[in-house]
Chains A and B, each alone.
Chain A
Amino acid sequence: MAGSALRRLMAEYKQLTLNPPEGIIAGPINEENFFEWEALITGPEGTCFEGGIFPAKLIFPSDYPLSPPKMQFVCEMFHPNIYADGRVCISILHAPGDDPMGYESSSERWSPVQSVEKILLSVVSMLAEPNDESGANVDAAKMWREDRAQFNSIADRIVKKTLGLHQ
C-alpha cells in the first residue's frame, strides 16, 4: 500500500524537480518521512499576492494517490478560500467520497490522475481569483467583495512578511 504510494511520490518529486512549474517548488522536507512535503508557491503576477513566496505543507495519506493529500499554508494567509489555520479549501483536494453537503460535482474532485503539480497550480489560480462564495474565511470573503483596497493592503503586508521584508 505505502510502497506504491512511495513510488508515485518519488516520481512526482522527480518530475517537479526536473521540470518545475514557474515559481513553484515542492518536495519532502525530510526524506525520513516522504509523506510530508513543503511547497513554496509564488503569488501570481498581476494580483494582490504578486511576488509573495507562500510556504505550505502537504500531508499525503498512505494510500496516495487514491486519496488526496491535505494542504495547509504555514504562513499567515488572508484569503476567502483559506481557513484561518491555513487549510486550503479547493475542490481538487476533496475525495470523491466525502462531500457531506453535496456541493461539488465529482468531476472537480480528487482523482488519482491529479498530482501535486496540478494541486499547486490550482492553488495559484485560487490565489489569483478567489471564490468569494466559499465559507473558508468569511471575513476575507466579505472584504474581498466590499473593500478591495483594504484587502490588497493586507495581502501586500502578507507578501512582505513572506519575503522577510519589514517596514
Chain B
Amino acid sequence: MPGTLVDRLPLPNLKAYTAGSAALLSMAVYYALTATSQAGWRAGGGAAGAEAAAAADGALEAPAAPAPAPPGDRNLTEQVLDVATYMMQEPLCMWTLINASCCALALAGAGLQRLVFGRLRVAEAQRLKDKFWNYVFYKFIFVFGVLNVQYMDEVVLWCSWFTALGFLGIMAQLCKDRFEYLSLSPAAGGWARARLLALLLLLACAAAALLAVAAVYGLPAGWHTFAFMAAECVLVLVSCLHSLARLALQAADADAAAAPVYYTHLVFDMVALVVELVDALHMVLAHNMALSAGALVLLLQLRSLLARLAARAARHARYAALRALTMHHYPVVPGEGDTCAICWDAMKDARQLPCKHLFHSSCLTVWLQQDPSCPTCRRALLPPAPPAAPAAPPQGPRNTTIHFNRMTSSRYVSWLPSFSVEVTRAPPPPPRAQIDAMARQVQAMFPAHSLAQLARDLLATRSAALTATNILEGRLPPEEEPSFPEPPPEAAPPAPATVAAPTVEPEPEIDEEDDKPVEVQFSSSSHERESLLQRRKRQLVAEARRRYLARRPPAPAPAPAPPAPGPAS
C-alpha cells in the first residue's frame, strides 16, 4: 500500500518493494529447501516441540542439527509441506513470509486503487500518506508500548490484525476523499459512483466480518483484548457507513442544510470520535502508566481527541441554539415566487427576518453559524444573540486605516455590490435632475437602454442600484430591440463594438468559427458548455485586440488602415 502513495516518502516504491520481497521470499524458500533436504531436520525442531509458542526457540537449532537419513524417497507434496512447516518455524523465514504477505496486500491495494479510483489526486495521496504514517505510529506504540507483548507469535498476530484493518481503513479513507471529489463535479459519472459504492459495501462487510472474528477469538482471551481488537473495526465500519450514507443522501438529492442530514452527519461524527476516545482512554488505563514515552504519546492523543470532541459538541450547540433562535423568533411565511438569496433556489416556505428578507430556513441556519447577520442587508440579528456569536465589529473610527479597497468611487458606487437593496424603504422622490443624472450613469453601463426608459424605471426604483439590478436580472430589457427579441439585454457579444470602435470595420483575420457571434445559450452538455466558453473567451480577446489596434495602431500601420496587420495570425 504505502509504495503507491507518494514518491517523496522514505518508503520504497511498490515496484522496488515487490522485487525486494520476491527476492527475499525466494531466498527463504531456497534456504528452507536446502535445510529440509537434509533429513533429520525435523528431529531438531521436533525436539523443541511443535507448539507455536516455542517454535521460535526450537527452530533456531534446526538447521544446525546434522542428520544422516537420505531424503530421496519423499514425494513433492511432502516436500512442500516440509518446506512450509520449516518456514513457519524458522524466525527469519517467518518474517520473510510476513513481509511477503504485506507485499501481497500492498499489491492488492494498488490493484484495487487502480480499478476503483484510477490515478490518485495529489490531495488524496497526501491525506493517504498522513493517515498511513499516523496509523503505523500509533499501532506501533500500542503493540510495543501498551500491550507490551512478550512472545513473537503474539506480535505477529497483532501486527497482521492491524495490517488488515489498516488496509481497510486506508481504503475507506480513499473512498471518502474520492466521494468528496466526485461531489464537486456535475459531470461525475454514475459509473464512478457505482464502483465507489461497491467498494464501500465490500469494505463495510469486511470490517463487520473482522468484528465477528474479534468477538469469536478475542472474547475468550478477555474483554481487554476484544475491546482493542474491536475498536479499529468499528471505526472502519463507521467510516464506511458514513460514506454510504453520504452517497445515499446525495442520490436522494437531500437538502444538505436540512436537519435530518445534519443529524446524520452529527451522529456519525460523534460515534467515530467517541469510539476513538474510548479506545485511547482504554489504552491509557491498560498501560501501566509508567512515565514512558508511549504513555506521553497516548495522553497527547487523548487530549487532541478530547479537544476535537469538544469542538464538535460546541459546533453542535451553536447549531442547535441558532436553530432554536430562528425557529422561535423568525416567522415562516409563504415565499412562493421568490428565490432564496443564499442558494438561488426557489422557495416554498421561507423564514422572514426582522428586516423582511426571506430565506430558506436551513440556508439561514447554516449562514447564521458563520455570521449572525442578514445576508442581504447585513443587519445584525441582535435579539437574543447566541452565546458564542461575536457581535458585529464596530464601525467608525478605525476606518481611517482601511486596508481593503472600498467601493467609494463616484462612478461605480451607486450600483455595485455590498450595498443593500431595501425594497420596503420609501424615501421622497428625487428631483428630475437627479433622475437624469442617474439615468446617464446607468446608461454608461448599459448602452442598449434608452435614457427615457431608464428614467422611467428610475422614477419607480429611485435608485441607480435597483435599476441596474433590474437590468442585470433581465427584468428591464431594452425597449427598442428590432432583430433579436429573445436574447436578454446586453447578452450579445458584439455589443462592445458599437460603443468603442464604431468607425473601424472589423477585420476578418481570426478563425471563421470564432468570428461568428456565439449564440447565447446554456447547453446541457458539459462538453458543449466548455467549448462554448472557450470560444467566447477567444472572441473577447480577439475583439479587444482589434479595438486596441484601432485605437492605438502599432508603429508601422497608420490608424484605420483596412488591412492592418493581423495580430491573431
Contact = CB atoms under 8 A, between A and B. Distances in A.
A33 B402 contact: no
A89 B404 contact: yes
Contacts of A117: 472
Interface string A91-128: 11011110101111111110111110111011011101
6 contacts: A19-B474, A34-B186, A53-B540, A97-B370, A104-B403, A167-B554
Given A31-B529, A66-B370, A67-B370, A165 B554 contact: yes
Contacts of A159: 548
Contacts of A17: 520-522, 529, 532-533
A9 B541 CA distance: 24
Interface of B: 180, 183-188, 250, 253, 255-257, 341-345, 363, 366-367, 370-371, 373, 375-376, 378, 392-393, 395, 398-399, 401-407, 409, 411-412, 416-418, 420, 445, 472-474, 487-491, 495-496, 500, 520-522, 526, 529-530, 532-533, 536-537, 540-541, 544-545, 547-549, 551, 554-555, 567
A31 B371 contact: no
A30 B488 CA distance: 26
A19 B469 CA distance: 12
A118 to B, nearest CB: 3
Contacts of B545: 163-165
A29 B526 CA distance: 11
A2 B405 contact: no
B529 A164 contact: no
A44 to B, nearest CB: 9
B564 to A, nearest CB: 12
A103 B533 contact: no
B404 A121 contact: no
A105 B545 CA distance: 40
A23 B540 contact: yes
B417 A18 contact: no
B516 to A, nearest CB: 16
A27 interface: yes
Contacts of A3: 183, 250, 253, 256
Interface in A28-73: 28-35, 38, 40, 42, 45, 51-53, 62, 65-67
A116 B253 CA distance: 25
A12 B403 contact: no
A14 B524 CA distance: 10
A140 B495 CA distance: 33
B375 to A, nearest CB: 4
Given A7-B345, A94-B404, A106 B373 contact: yes
The bracket for how many chain A residues form the interface is: 35 or more
Please give me the 5 A-B residue pairs with the lowest Cβ-Cβ distance, nearest first: A118-B417, A125-B412, A96-B371, A91-B404, A31-B526
Given A25-B537, A51-B548, A14 B522 contact: yes
A150 interface: no
A18 B488 contact: yes
Given A31-B529, A31-B530, A108 B407 contact: yes
Nearest to B541: A53
A128 B405 contact: no
Contacts of B366: 66
A4 B257 contact: yes
A18 B405 contact: no
- Interface residues of chain B: helix, strand, loop or mixed (majority): loop
Given A1-B256, A22-B445, A125-B407, A107 B180 contact: no
Given A25-B536, A30-B530, A103-B398, A111 B548 contact: no
B118 to A, nearest CB: 12
Nearest to A108: B418
Give the most central of B343, B402, B417: most A CB within 10 Å. Answer: B417
A34 B529 CA distance: 12
A111 B376 contact: yes
B183 A90 contact: no
Nearest to B411: A128
Contact of B344 (A2, A12, A20, A125): A12
Contacts of B393: 99, 102, 104-106
Nearest to B568: A164
A10 interface: yes
A152 interface: no
B417 A121 contact: yes
Given A2-B184, A18-B520, A125-B407, 9 more contacts: A18-B522, A31-B186, A95-B371, A111-B418, A122-B418, A124-B412, A131-B404, A163-B541, A163-B548
Nearest to B415: A121
Contacts of A128: 409, 411-412
Contacts of A165: 545, 548-549, 554, 567
Nearest to B378: A107
A85 interface: no
Given A34-B186, A52-B544, A122-B407, A106 B180 contact: no
B412 A129 contact: yes
Contact of B533 (A25, A114, A121): A25
A28 B473 CA distance: 21
A11 interface: yes
Q: Which of B341, B404, B541 has the most CB of A within 10 A?
A: B404
Contacts of B548: 51, 159-160, 163, 165
Contact of A104 (B402, B411, B420, B474): B402
A81 B398 contact: no
Nearest to B567: A165
A115 to B, nearest CB: 8
Given A51-B551, A121-B416, A19 B495 contact: no
A138 interface: no
A139 interface: no
A131 B256 contact: no
A35 B181 CA distance: 10
Of the candidates B405, B474, B547, the one having the most CB atoms from chain A within 10 angstroms of its own CB is B405
Contacts of B403: 89, 101, 103-104, 133-135
A101 B500 CA distance: 42
Contacts of B405: 81, 89-91, 122, 126, 130-131, 134
A1 B363 CA distance: 11
> Which of B363, B416, B544 gathers most chain A CB within 10 Å?
B544
Q: In the complex, which of the residues A38, A91, A117 has the most CB atoms of chain B within 10 Å of its own CB atom?
A: A91
B184 A66 contact: no
A38 B495 CA distance: 22
